Amino acid sequence: MQFASTRNPDIKVDFREGVFQGLAPDGGLYHPVTMPDLTEVISKFGPGTTFLEIATEMTKGLFGDELTDEQAERICTKAFTFSPALVKVTDKISILELYHGPSCAFKDFGASYLAACMEEFLKSRSSKAIILTATSGDTGSAVARAFHKRENIEVIILYPSGRVSPLQEKQLTTLGENITALEVKGSFDDCQRMVKSAFVDPELIGKMTLSSANSINLGRLIPQSFYYLWANSRDQAGKTKPYFAVPSGNFGNLTAGVMASKWGMKTPGFLAVTNRNDVVPEYLKTGDYNPRPSEQTLSNAMDVGAPSNFDRLLAIFKGDWDKMKETIGEEVVTDKETLETIKRIQEDYNYLADPHTAVGFLGAERYLEKNADIENIICLSTAHPGKFLEVVQEATGSFPELPEQLKAIQDLEKVSIITENTDQALKDFLLARFA
């Protein structure tokens, strides 16, 4: 499968090259040159097909030109030691739980697949890969867990000081070994900008192999389509295929779902739900795209003011606003509504949602109110409620149970390197450590 930069169609790579480059050399995002038609592969998925089977068949279908069947099977078996779960919560809304992986967030799917792909690809290379990643909370922990102790790979994580939850910070800063955490005195947008600037810095590129593990990386993006396919293939006897409500920040998750639909998954559409950082919903409403600094909210993994995957969405719809609107609806949810929703879902349906999932859930409920003909919506649940103890406690009055994966790290000691929020600061660090 061939991918081209969203900024220049002449810059083309295969999957392997795209995985290691992360961002294209011109600063664009890699995007499929043509969307493969996998309708036949997808039509074979049914309620009995496991997530691992779907991931493996899709990997073969998408990358059969580059990977042998054995490689595809090895990558998926290593990556997916965990699965999603689908829970019916109301008559019309089911929740797709994507938090059963090692860091208890949906980003485990992308990070694990990317780590497994890189490990497979590095077998035939002699050089070490350095992974640079900016996180607003969850990416970093998923990446840290997925890459911990992998040979020939060093991971540098940038996170905004004081803007991730205490537990998230522990996840980022306690693994050690090949994982280094840079605590940046600034916002997530600063972290993201610093990483982007490193990738296009000729001096750095000349001296080391830099790769990304952010949602901009194809190796993270592509596997996120697999759980849409899995959920879509579950039995919904007598009903039409479901919509998907996606709590969104950088829009990697939603983009992956839209890609699955372009490859042949039948769905009536998607719902982009954000917190107050509503750049994309605003675009869907007005046609104007105004990226701006992010604002801090209770669903902090979605505090993104300039979503990196927006260019990919534009590329999929060839810049056609009307087409995008036909496929993607929008809802915006405030912090106050997020707290109320967590409490109400628990009281009415005995379901405990994290703040991001609550944003998606309220978006789905509102969309159903406006569109009475819709039969069912699957709301993606992006994190375990135990990851956002403080917010869930504020909403419900009691602390949620911490998942086992997270209990273990609570007492470990934080190790981070305090870093200025400038491109030069990151460059200096990299040169000192790796050049």
Ligand X SMILES: *Cc1c(COP(=O)(O)O)cnc(C)c1O
What is the binding site for ligand X (CB under 6 A)? 105, 107, 137-138, 215, 247-253, 301-302, 356, 382-383
Cα-based angle 200, 137, 212 (whole degrees, multiple of 5): 25
Separation of CA 373 from chain center: 30
Q: Find the shortest distance in angstroms from Cβ 224 to ligand X.
A: 7
Measured CA to CA in angstroms, residue 71 lies from 19, 64, 108 at distances of: 15, 10, 20
Nearer to ligand X, 301 or 324 (CB): 301
| DSSP letter for each residue of 9-75 | TT-EEEHHHHHHH-B-TTS-BEEESS----HHHHHT--TT--HHHHHHHHHHHHHTTTS-HHHHHHH
**Which C-beta is closer to ligand X: that of 137 or that of 219?**
137
Chain centre distance of CA 30? 16
Q: Which is nearer to ligand X, 72 or 279 (CB)?
A: 279
Q: Specify the residue, 86 or 306, whose C-beta has the smaller distance to ligand X.
A: 306
Name the minimum Å distance from CB 10 to ligand X: 28
- Closer of 214 and 236 to ligand X (Cβ): 214
Least distance to ligand X from the beta carbon of 11, Å? 24
DSSP 307-320: -TTHHHHHHHTTT-
How far is it, in rounded angstroms, from Cα 19 to Cα 15?
Answer: 6
Name the minimum Å distance from CB 346 to ligand X: 18
Q: How far is the CB of 99 from ligand X (least distance, A)?
A: 8
Nearer to ligand X, 138 or 311 (CB): 138
Q: Which amino acid is at 178?
A: N
**Under 8 Å between Cβ of 271 and 374:** no
Pairing of strands 2-5, 12-14: antiparallel
Distance CA 252, CA 98 (A): 14
CA-to-CA distance for 247 and 251, rounded, in angstroms? Answer: 9
Nearest approach, Cβ of 295 to ligand X (angstroms)? 15
**For residues 353 and 374, which CB has a smaller minimum distance to ligand X in the complex?**
353
Question: How near is the Cβ of 324 to ligand X at its closest, in Å?
Answer: 16
Give the integer Cα–Cα distance in Å for 52 and 86.
15
Cβ 64 to ligand X shortest distance, Å: 27
CB atoms inside a 10 Å sphere around CB 42: 20
Nearer to ligand X, 136 or 376 (CB): 136
Nearest approach, Cβ of 42 to ligand X (angstroms)?
22
Amino acid at 193: R
Q: Which is nearer to ligand X, 121 or 251 (by Cβ)?
A: 251
| Residue 399 DSSP class | P
Which class for 34: exposed (0-12), middle (13-18), buried (19 or more C-beta within 10 A)?
exposed
By CB atoms closer than 10 A (0-12, 13-18, 19+), residue 420 is: middle
Based on CB atoms, which residue is closest to ligand X, 129 or 379? 379
Reading phi first (left if > 0) and then psi (alpha if -120 to 50, else beta), residue 176 is in left
Shortest separation between residue 225's beta carbon and ligand X, angstroms: 12
> To the nearest whole angstrom, how small is the minimum distance from the Cβ of residue 252 to ligand X?
3
Amino acid at 115: A
First to last CA, the chain: 33
| Closer residue to ligand X in complex, CB, 174/299 | 299
Nearest residue by C-beta to ligand X? 138
